[in-house]
């Protein structure tokens, strides 16, 4: 088993790293999915209640609740992984979670910190779909502060591997593949979609 966890501030590139893994056939386990599943179990809309339910789980089951609930998903994914049991875990937030994974997987767990400066992240998140840049900056600052307060800053400090995502997306993807142990771009791409059997629009013949 080879479990690779990612940690990074909002907009640092965790989602992009997960896409690179998926494209290479490495299963991705998103820790937030555990919270979304619990929202649904309680009959709540994850879009509205995600934060509250994450807090409730930690209170009811301990600070490592989300990591603990993610463990079986990681083991299942590793068993199904064609890539030598490699799995990417997206979204560690605290040192308690890190310790839970280290305890469960020992040396088979690697924590990867993804870093990009505030201004770069703000710009990228802005490009992801918002318009009002001043309130965006303020909102990002608040998100950063909240995450750091919950322990993300310390978790970043304790990573085994650093990835700097200040440069181009191509450079970042190459570095992620390196860390994942995926060699070439062609290999990472897997099967490209084909449009072999596109149904005819019925316009031929006149």
Cross-sheet strand order for the sheet of 28-30: 28-30, 86-90, 2-7, 109-115, 161-164
Q: From the CB of 176, what's the least distance to ligand ATP, in Å?
A: 10
DSSP string, 87-104: EEEE---SHHHHHHHHHH
Q: Residue 87 and residue 75: Cα distance in Å, rounded?
A: 9
Q: Does the annotation place 13 within a ligand binding site?
A: yes
Residue 2, C-beta contacts closer than 8 angstroms, at least 6 positions apart: 78, 84, 85, 86, 87, 108, 110, 181
The one segment of 20-28, 39-47, 57-65, 168-176 that binds ligand ATP by CB under 6 A: 168-176
Question: Which residues from 6-35 bind ligand ATP, rule CB under 6 A?
Answer: 8, 10-16
Q: Is 128 in the site for ligand ATP (CB under 6 A)?
A: yes
For the CB of residue 85, give the shortest distance to ligand ATP in the complex, in Å: 24
Measured from the CB of residue 178, what is the shortest distance to ligand ATP in angstroms?
15
Least distance from ligand ATP to the Cβ atom of residue 8, Å: 5
Distance CA 89, CA 99 (A): 14
| 27 annotated to a ligand binding site | no
Q: Residues annotated in the binding site for ATP, as ranges? A: 8-15
Q: Residues annotated in the binding site, as ranges? A: 8-15
Residues at the interface with ligand ATP (CB under 6 A): 8, 10-16, 124-125, 128, 165, 168-169, 172
């Amino acid at each position: 088993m080879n479990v690779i966890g990612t940690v990074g501030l909002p907009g640092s590139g965790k989602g992009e790293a997960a896409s690179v893994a998926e494209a290479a056939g490495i299963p991705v386990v998103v820790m937030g999915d555990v919270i979304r599943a619990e929202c649904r179990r309680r009959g709540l809309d994850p879009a509205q209640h995600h934060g509250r339910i994450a807090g409730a789980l930690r209170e009811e089951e301990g600070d490592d609740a989300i990591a603990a609930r993610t463990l079986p998903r990681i083991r299942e994914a590793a068993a199904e992984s064609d890539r030598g049991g490699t799995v990417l875990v997206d979204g560690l937030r605290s040192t308690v979670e890190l310790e839970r994974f280290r305890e469960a997987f020992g040396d088979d767990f690697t924590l990867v910190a993804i870093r990009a400066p505030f201004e770069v992240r703000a710009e990228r998140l802005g490009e992801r779909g918002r318009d009002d840049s001043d309130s965006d900056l303020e909102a990002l600052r608040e998100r950063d502060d909240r995450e750091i307060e919950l322990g993300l800053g310390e978790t970043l400090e304790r990573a085994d591997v650093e990835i700097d995502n200040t440069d181009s997306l191509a450079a970042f993807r190459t570095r992620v593949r390196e860390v994942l142990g995926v060699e070439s771009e062609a290999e990472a791409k897997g099967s490209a979609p084909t449009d072999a059997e596109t149904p005819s629009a019925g316009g031929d013949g006149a």
